Amino acid sequence: MNLVEIQAVYQSQGQPDERQIQNWIDAALQDYPQDSEIVVRIVDQDESAQLNRQYRHKNGPTNILSFPADVPDGIDLNLLGDLVICAPVLEQEALAQGKLLAHHWAHIIVHGVLHLLGYDHSGGDEARVMEAKEINILQQFNISNPYLEITQP
C-alpha cells in the first residue's frame, strides 16, 4: 500500500479529498514494483512562487513542483518524494482551459508522480512517452486526454 501524507495548508472549493488524491497516486504507481511514500503539500501562490524561485530559479507560482527523494544507499525507505501543488494556479488553469477542476487535479497529481518516478517532458520522445502514460492512467477514471481538452480563452 502506498502511503500518502497530505499537508493542506491552503483550502479552497473544489479541492479533492484525501481518498481521491490517494486513488490518483495509486493509479500512477500501479506499475511501480513496491509500496512507496509521497508527501502532497497543497499551498497558496506565495509559497509556490517562493519554492519555484528557490529550486527552479523561475519567478511566479506554478501548478506543481515535484521533489524526488534522495535516499542514501543502504537505507530501507521507499520515500519517492514530495509534490507541492498550488491550488489557486490549478483553479485558474482549469477555468482558462475549459477543464473540469477535478480532472485537472487528477492530471496534475498523476503528472507529478510520474516526475517522481523519473519521467520527463523536456524532450520530444520523452514528452510523448510521459503524456501517453498520463493519458492511459487518467482513462481509468474516465478522464479524457488532457492535452486535447485545452481550449483557447
d(Cα 16, Cα 109) in Å, to the nearest integer?
11
| pLDDT beyond 60 at 54 | yes
User: Residue 61 — very low, low, confident or very high, per pLDDT cuts 50/70/90?
Assistant: very high
Identify any residues that bridge with 64 across adjacent strands, giving them in sequence order: 85
Contact 61, 48 (CB under 8 A): yes
| pLDDT at residue number 143 | 96
Residue 114 resides in a domain: yes
Q: Does residue 90 lie within any of the structural domains?
A: yes
The answer for residues whose C-beta is within 8 angstroms of residue 74's C-beta and 6 or more apart is: none
When divided into structural domains, the chain yields a total of 1
Q: Is residue 151 part of a domain?
A: no
Higher pLDDT, 74 or 115: 115
CB-count exposure of residue 57 (10 Å: 0-12, 13-18, 19+): exposed
Mean pLDDT, the chain, rounded, equals 92
